[in-house]
């Protein structure tokens, strides 16, 4: 009777461990660092819009802010590429992504491979300055800058 109970208990422990292992394999968690393109200082990542797999759906709620200013992004298992866009901060300062400031097309999309981010890390191009950064495996770093006065005026008059 005791052997049977120990065997059943061992079986349950093994099943629970394997379920946890499978869950860990399906979750894709990425750390996001949003940096000021000119100063290199970290900016809050609470207002980042994420899109995956070239879909139109925006996921603003997928990024949870960490205490150090970085963000934790949990992606679904089918995510293969992502794009991230800064929006605004707590002072309502509007940001522009530095990976697209030199593009001829306004608001051009730049897509980044999730598998590459997870295995070696990824730093998006910084078209706002020559400042760079280093990413660790599982980390995505992108640069932003505040809207300049021309962009603010253009937006105010287009509303």
Residue pLDDT tens, the chain, 159 long: 565 655 544 555 555 555 544 444 577 999 999 999 999 999 876 678 899 999 988 888 889 988 888 999 999 999 999 999 887 665 667 888 899 866 655 567 899 999 999 999 999 999 999 999 999 999 999 999 887 666 656 655 555
Structural domain boundaries in the chain: 28-158
Determine the pLDDT at residue 25: 53
Q: Which fold has domain 28-158?
A: Immunoglobulin-like (2.60.40)
pLDDT at 94: 81
pLDDT of residue 92: 65
pTM over 0.85: no
Q: Half-sphere exposure of 64 toward its Cβ, with a 13 Å CA cutoff?
A: 4
> Could you write out the three-class secondary structure of 31-42?
EEEEEECCCCCE
């Amino acid at each position: 009777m005791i052997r049977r109970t120990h065997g059943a208990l061992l079986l349950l422990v093994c099943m629970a461990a394997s379920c946890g292992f499978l869950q860990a394999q399906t979750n894709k968690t990425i750390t996001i660092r949003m940096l000021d393109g000119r100063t290199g200082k970290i900016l809050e990542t609470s207002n980042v819009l994420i899109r995956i797999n070239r879909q139109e759906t925006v996921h603003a709620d997928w990024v949870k802010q960490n205490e150090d200013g970085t963000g934790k992004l949990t992606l679904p298992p089918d995510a293969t590429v992502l794009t991230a866009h800064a929006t605004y901060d707590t002072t309502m300062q509007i940001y522009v992504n530095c990976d697209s400031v030199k593009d001829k097309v306004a608001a051009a999309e730049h897509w980044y491979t999730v598998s590459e981010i997870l295995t070696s890390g990824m730093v998006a191009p910084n078209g706002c300055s020559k400042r760079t950064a280093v990413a660790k495996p599982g980390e995505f770093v992108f640069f932003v800058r505040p809207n300049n006065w021309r962009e603010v005026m253009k937006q105010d008059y287009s509303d």
